[in-house]
Amino acid sequence: MTSRIHPAARIGHVHLKVADLDLAIAFWRDVMGFDLTQRYGTQAAFLSAGGYHHHIGLNTWESAGAPPAPPGHPGLYHVAILYPDRASLGAALARVLAAGVPLQGAADHGVSEAVYFADPDGNGIEIYRDRPEAEWPRDADGGLAMSNGRLDLAALLAEAG
């Protein structure tokens, strides 16, 4: 019996505990661009991209009115949202900046380009695009040689569709 995950397995959705459902819906719908697919009163909502049942679940079951978890405590570091190309990543970044969301970082990792920020509840978010695998940097042994270089945000925004 193998203990390795099937290579076709994917992370399908994330459920986040939020303090204010309306505020969280507004962020994930209006800033991030997800569609609201279903809402359960003041307790839960589900949002998606491309007609999927949901990629993001939001709930207040254990967190209504609560403050964000303090820094340095266990929990979700960030959820990563993969964009298909540089233009769509640039457009997503433009929406985030237009909404006044402060960035926490940005990096060129060699294999990908990524931008980091948080939702209103302090949940970390990474928006990124992968480079084609043939362009991934490799070390002398053929292993990945990821890096943490500077990402040119102005150039990324210029490519926004």
What band does 18 get if pLDDT is binned at 50, 70 and 90?
Answer: very high
Alpha-carbon distance of 139 to 111, in angstroms, equals 13
Domain contains 126? yes
**Whole-number pLDDT of residue 75:** 86
If asked whether residues 114 and 140 sit together in one domain, one would say yes
Strand runs (DSSP E) across 10-158, as ranges?
14-17, 35-40, 44-48, 56-59, 79-83, 103-108, 112-118, 124-130
pLDDT digits (tens, 9 = 90+) for 50-106: 999 999 999 999 999 999 888 888 888 999 999 999 999 999 999 999 999 999 999
Contact 21, 121 (CB under 8 A): no
Tokens 């929990």 belong to 75
Percent of the chain whose pLDDT exceeds 70: 98
Q: What is the per-residue burial (b if ≥16 Cβ within 10 Å, else e) of 99-129?
A: eebeeeebbbbbbbbbbbbbbbbebbbbbbb
Let me know whether 122 and 152 are in one domain.
yes
Indicate whether 155 and 88 sit together in one domain: yes
Q: Which residues pair with 81 in a beta bridge?
A: 127
- Same structural domain, 108 and 134: yes
Phi, psi of 124 (to 5 degrees): -70, 145
Domain count across the chain: 2
pLDDT interval class at 155 (50, 70, 90):
very high
Give the structural domain span for 136.
Answer: 77-161
Cα-to-chain-centroid distance, residue 32: 9
- Please report, for the chain, how many H helices and E strands are present, in that order: 3, 8
89 and 143 in a single domain? The answer is yes
Same-domain check for residues 46 and 82: no
The predicted pLDDT at position 2 comes to 65
Among the three residues 23, 41, 65, which one is the final residue of a domain in this structure? 65
pTM of the model: 0.92
